[in-house]
């Protein structure tokens, strides 16, 4: 098992074995990120592939000031954003109807919902909602930062997040109801 | 234990915190192939193997073509039976018939004619008689600065002719000995075998053809026996060594602005400018063009900088020692400066412009036609671009004390080499005897993208431009 620094140096020397170890170390977690951002598995595969090529290409620019995993994760997220922006002009999301706010379901029952079910309802969201929700709620970006990244206004980011939450709540309620 | 979530945000954060999913194996195979192909991670590599191979191929193609053209020229024009002997040093060398046209200035030129026996039937006495009477007088313009040559013949059968040249017409007349009918020669344009101006090697007569250097105004080669010379002077068309395949060299200086299009990723569309110096070899309407050029292009993009904001600093005491000298205990505090950063990640997006300089090596083949003033041509061929310099500005963060966590440029890096196929056609306009102005639209198809491998998004770029330049002929 290489140390992180040793692994980076070996990858920079274009050692195929080290690159594979690097990939195996981070790919499972990053694939989870890709699945959240992607509309389907094929798109997730593309994000992971392109993201890791970027990682290996730009590894020399990694500064040891932050964690390597965080750096890889940001590269993957940025790749997902770029793909979203690229596809934006080719697709038209059908705006979901104003979801009714669902608040009256048993909070404790939420824990019974599996990750795979959560993944499914996230991926059912329209692309714009999904990306904003992922960036804000899970990745921790502010609306100002999201507006810069996606080249949209802050208000758009906020409204898309609000609608995403409503849609998710509705889906969660439905899942919860079927389980009861 | 069942967790309770106050809102759905916490639910998703918690569930996805350590979520892992194993990707399919084929993804790594694709990544490995692309990473190994592009040699990712290797820094400081100036020219890739592809570039070296490309330059070598271009040099080989150019060399082979040049050799082929030069051999074709010399092989077709050289007359193996013709020798030119220089009087001054007595040496001899092979020569093309052009040497016959350039008459010496102050020495006698001895000519003899080689011809098949079937066409002529000379008697030895006639031959001797005529050869002793040849006297060549060159055109005045050709007298100065020419070397002194005598032309000798190596064939067994030789007859003697006199050549009469008229400067204005550029034609030669043949005078024949008595008894020979001029029509028997059947001279036709381009029939080099019938153009004979070769030495009479029969030295036993003691007579030589002489060049009359006293008559500088004369434009004719005359026979000293004027009576015989005047009998036959049939005009013969000019015969040139490059008959049917004019060749020439010219050099051009070109400026080409181009628009580069990426059909699958319009954000990469860009402009480029190039300045080229090319050598052009033309022959029989065909041409080959090659040279060197410098291309300039740039990418406009953004830096995405993830950073932690600098809040301040404090002195951290990491050790305390006590000095007891002098009977007093004095504590010594060892400190270090610790910078404090905001724990929240921030993103800054700042515009940047990256500039690239390429060395371009085109090899174009084409065809064209040139009229009195205007000409046209079409050309096509491969072109290799080698990245020789890149100017990538450093990141620009308002507070340099902020801790940079991550920097990403929106645009991918550029490859060290890339190949294009160039197709161009244009017109030329003669500004003078040897200077022309050319204007030609250029279409360039990128065989491989100028950018580093970036999945499928950057495939099949092409560019459209207009090339303007000046061509100097020789």
Question: A112 and A77 in one domain?
Answer: no
pTM exceeds cut of 0.90: no
Question: A84 and A37 in one domain?
Answer: yes
The verdict on residue A103 lying in a domain is no
* Residues of B with Cβ-Cβ distance to A111 under 8 angstroms: 2-5
Structure tokens at B454: 């970036």
Question: A76 and A24 in one domain?
Answer: yes
Cα distances (angstroms) measured from residue B386 to each of B47, B229, B257, B277, B450? 7, 67, 18, 16, 10
Buried b (16+ CB within 10 A) or exposed e, B265-285: beebebebebebebebbbeee
Q: What does DSSP assign to residue B67?
A: H
Question: A81 and A17 in one domain?
Answer: yes
Chosen for mutation from A35, A42, A115 (greatest number of chain B CBs closer than 10 Å) is A115
Tens-binned pLDDT, residue by residue, of chain B (474 aa): 566 677 788 888 888 888 888 999 889 988 888 887 665 544 444 455 556 666 676 677 666 666 666 666 554 444 444 444 444 443 333 433 443 344 444 444 444 444 444 444 444 444 444 444 444 444 444 444 444 444 444 444 444 444 444 444 444 444 444 444 444 444 444 444 444 444 444 444 444 444 444 444 444 444 444 445 444 455 555 544 444 456 788 999 999 999 988 877 777 778 899 999 999 998 888 999 999 999 999 888 778 787 888 888 899 898 999 888 888 888 899 998 888 888 777 777 778 888 999 999 999 999 998 888 899 999 999 999 999 998 887 776 667 778 777 777 767 778 888 889 999 999 999 998 889 999 999 999 988 777 775 544 566 789 999 999 999 987
In this prediction the ipTM stands at: 0.85
Return the biggest CA–CA distance within chain B: 143
* Residues of A with Cβ-Cβ distance to B19 under 8 angstroms: 29, 32, 115
* CA distance to partner chain A, nearest, from residue B406 (Å): 6
Question: A65 and A122 in one domain?
Answer: no
Cβ–Cβ below 8 Å for A45 and B24: yes
* CA distance to partner chain A, nearest, from residue B53 (Å): 22
**Final residue of a domain: which of A42, A59, A88?**
A88
Q: Which of A48, A59, A108 sits opposite B41 (nearest CB)?
A: A59
* Residues of A with Cβ-Cβ distance to B403 under 8 angstroms: 65
Collapsed DSSP state (helix, strand, coil) of residue B87 = coil
How confident is the model at residue A47, as a pLDDT?
92
Is residue B103 within 8 Å of B150, Cβ to Cβ? no
Closest CA to B287 of B245, B347, B343, B226: B245
Packing angle between helix A16-37 and helix A4-12, nearest 10 degrees? 100
Q: How many domains does chain A fold into?
A: 2
Cα distances (angstroms) measured from residue B464 to each of B130, B134, B137, B272, B423? 69, 65, 60, 10, 10
Report which secondary-structure segment, H or E, holds B222. Answer: strand B222-223
Q: Does B4 touch chain A (CB under 8 A)?
A: yes
Q: Which of B11, B12, B35 sits opposite A53 (nearest CB)?
A: B35
Q: Does A90 touch chain B (CB under 8 A)?
A: no
Is residue B272 within 8 Å of B387, Cβ to Cβ? no
CATH of the domain at A136: 1.10.10.10
Collapsed DSSP state (helix, strand, coil) of residue B210 = strand
Question: A77 and A16 in one domain?
Answer: yes
Q: Does B181 touch chain A (CB under 8 A)?
A: no
Question: A171 and A114 in one domain?
Answer: yes
Cβ–Cβ below 8 Å for B40 and A57: yes
Is residue B376 within 8 Å of B414, Cβ to Cβ? no
Distance separating alpha carbons of residues B283 and B263, to the nearest angstrom = 39
How confident is the model at residue B461, as a pLDDT?
85
Distance separating alpha carbons of residues A8 and A21, to the nearest angstrom = 10
Question: A82 and A9 in one domain?
Answer: yes
Distance separating alpha carbons of residues B216 and B106, to the nearest angstrom = 10
The verdict on residue A127 lying in a domain is yes
Q: Does B351 touch chain A (CB under 8 A)?
A: no
Q: Which of B3, B8, B13 sits opposite A111 (nearest CB)?
A: B3
**Final residue of a domain: which of A39, A59, A88?**
A88
Cβ–Cβ below 8 Å for A115 and B16: yes
Q: How many CA atoms lie within 13 A of B252 on its CB side?
A: 27
Question: A168 and A114 in one domain?
Answer: yes
Q: Does A104 touch chain B (CB under 8 A)?
A: no
Cβ–Cβ below 8 Å for A35 and B12: no
The verdict on residue A100 lying in a domain is no
Q: Give the residue-averaged pLDDT of A135-157.
A: 88
The verdict on residue A18 lying in a domain is yes
Question: A84 and A8 in one domain?
Answer: yes
* CA distance to partner chain B, nearest, from residue A89 (Å): 11
How confident is the model at residue B427, as a pLDDT?
94
CATH of the domain at A40: 1.10.1740.10
Question: A83 and A16 in one domain?
Answer: yes
Question: A62 and A123 in one domain?
Answer: no
The verdict on residue A131 lying in a domain is yes
Q: Does A121 touch chain B (CB under 8 A)?
A: no
Average pLDDT, chain A: 83
Task: Give the A window 4-63 contacts with B, CB below 8 Å.
Answer: 11-14, 16, 19-20, 23, 27-29, 31-32, 35-36, 45-46, 48-50, 52-54, 56-61, 63
Summarised one tens digit per residue, pLDDT across range A81-114 is: 888 887 776 555 444 444 444 455 555 567 778 8
* CA distance to partner chain A, nearest, from residue B450 (Å): 15
The verdict on residue A101 lying in a domain is no
Strand bridging mode B134-136 / B210-211: parallel
The verdict on residue A52 lying in a domain is yes
Structural domain boundaries, residue A139: 108-179
Structure tokens at B464: 């459209």
The verdict on residue A99 lying in a domain is no
């Amino acid at each position: 098992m290489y140390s992180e620094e040793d692994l980076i140096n070996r990858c920079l020397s274009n050692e195929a074995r080290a690159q594979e170890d690097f990939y195996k170390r981070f790919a499972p977690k990053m694939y989870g990120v890709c699945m959240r951002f992607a509309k389907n598995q094929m798109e997730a595969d593309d994000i992971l592939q392109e993201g890791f090529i970027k990682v290996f290409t730009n590894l020399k620019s990694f500064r040891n000031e932050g964690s390597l995993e965080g750096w890889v994760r940001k590269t993957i997220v940025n790749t997902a954003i770029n793909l979203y922006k690229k596809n934006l002009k080719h697709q038209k999301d059908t705006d979901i109807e104003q979801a009714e706010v669902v608040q009256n379901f048993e909070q404790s029952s939420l824990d019974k919902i599996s990750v795979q079910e959560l993944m499914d309802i996230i991926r059912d969201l329209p692309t714009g909602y999904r990306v904003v929700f992922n960036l804000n709620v899970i990745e921790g970006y502010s609306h100002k930062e999201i507006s810069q990244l996606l080249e949209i206004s802050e208000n758009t980011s906020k409204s898309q997040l609000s609608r995403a939450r409503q849609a998710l709540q509705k889906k969660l309620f439905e899942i919860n109801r079927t389980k009861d | 234990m069942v967790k309770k979530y106050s809102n759905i945000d916490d639910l998703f954060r918690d569930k996805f915190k350590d979520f892992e999913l194993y990707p399919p194996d084929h993804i790594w195979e694709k990544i490995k192939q692309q990473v190994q192909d592009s040699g990712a991670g290797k820094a400081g590599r100036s020219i890739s193997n592809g570039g070296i191979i490309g330059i070598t191929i271009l040099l080989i193609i150019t060399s082979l073509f040049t050799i082929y053209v030069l051999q074709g020229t010399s092989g077709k024009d050289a007359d193996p039976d013709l020798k030119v002997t220089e009087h001054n040093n007595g040496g001899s060398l092979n020569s093309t018939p052009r040497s016959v046209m350039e008459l010496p200035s102050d020495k006698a030129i001895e000519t003899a004619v080689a011809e098949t026996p079937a066409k002529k039937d000379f008697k030895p006495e006639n031959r001797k008689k005529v050869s002793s009477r040849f006297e060549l007088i060159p055109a005045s313009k050709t007298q100065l600065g020419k070397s002194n040559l005598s032309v000798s013949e190596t064939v067994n059968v030789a007859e003697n002719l006199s050549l009469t040249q008229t400067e204005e017409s550029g034609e030669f007349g043949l005078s024949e000995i008595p008894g020979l009918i001029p029509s028997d020669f059947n001279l036709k344009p381009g029939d080099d075998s019938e153009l004979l101006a070769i030495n009479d090697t029969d030295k036993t007569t003691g007579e030589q053809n002489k060049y009359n250097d006293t008559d500088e105004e004369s434009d004719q080669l005359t026979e000293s026996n004027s009576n015989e010379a005047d009998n036959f002077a049939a005009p013969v068309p000019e015969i040139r060594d490059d008959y049917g395949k004019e060749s020439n060299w010219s050099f051009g200086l070109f400026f080409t602005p181009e628009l580069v299009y990426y059909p699958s990723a319009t954000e990469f569309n860009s402009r480029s400018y190039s300045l080229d110096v090319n050598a052009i070899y033309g022959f029989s309407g065909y041409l080959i063009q090659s040279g060197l050029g410098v291309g300039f292009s740039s990418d406009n993009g953004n830096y995405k900088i993830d950073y932690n904001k600098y809040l301040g600093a404090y002195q951290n005491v990491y050790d305390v020692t006590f000095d007891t000298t002098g009977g007093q205990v004095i504590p010594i505090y060892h400190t270090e400066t610790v910078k404090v950063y905001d724990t929240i990640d921030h993103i800054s997006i700042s515009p940047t412009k990256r500039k690239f300089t390429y060395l371009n090596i085109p090899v174009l083949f084409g065809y064209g036609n040139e009229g009195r003033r205007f000409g046209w041509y079409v050309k096509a061929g491969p072109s290799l671009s080698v990245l020789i310099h890149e100017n990538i500005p450093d990141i620009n963060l308002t507070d340099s004390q902020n801790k940079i966590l991550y920097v990403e440029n929106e645009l991918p890096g550029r490859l060290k080499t890339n190949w294009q196929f160039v197709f161009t056609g244009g017109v030329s306009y003669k500004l003078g005897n040897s200077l022309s102005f050319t204007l030609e639209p250029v279409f360039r198809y990128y065989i491989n993208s100028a950018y580093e491998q970036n999945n499928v998004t950057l495939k099949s770029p092409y560019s459209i431009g207009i090339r303007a330049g000046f061509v100097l002929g020789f």
